[in-house]
Amino acid sequence: MKGTIIYPGTFDPVTNGHTDIVARAALIFDRVIVGVAASTAKATAFSADERVALARDVLSPFSNVEVQRFEGLLADFARQVGATLLLRGLRAVSDFEMEFQMASMNRKLIPEADTIFLTPAEQYSYISSSLVREIAALGGDVSAFVDKRVLAALRERWR
Residue 8 sits in the site that holds ligand COA (CB under 6 A): yes
Closer residue to ligand COA (CB): 2 or 4? 4
Residue 104 Cβ vs ligand COA, minimum distance, rounded to whole Å: 8
From residue 88, how far is each of 31, 35, 85, 152 by CA, in Å?
15, 11, 10, 27
* Residue 91 falls in the annotated catalytic set: yes
CB closer to ligand COA out of 10 and 136 = 10
**How far is it, in rounded angstroms, from Cα 132 to Cα 112?**
35
String marking each residue 57-96 x if it binds ligand COA according to CB under 6 A: ----------------xxx-------------x-x-----
Secondary structure letter of residue 124 according to DSSP:
G
CB closest to ligand COA, residue no? 17
Residue 130 annotated among the catalytic residues of the structure: no
Cβ contact 93:101 at 8 Å: no
Q: How far is the CB of 128 from ligand COA (least distance, A)?
A: 3
Backbone phi and psi for residue 36, each to the nearest 5 degrees, phi listed first: -95, 115
Residue 105 found at the interface with ligand COA (CB under 6 A): yes
Contacts of 53 (CB under 8 A, 6+ apart): none
Active site residues: 18, 42, 91, 129
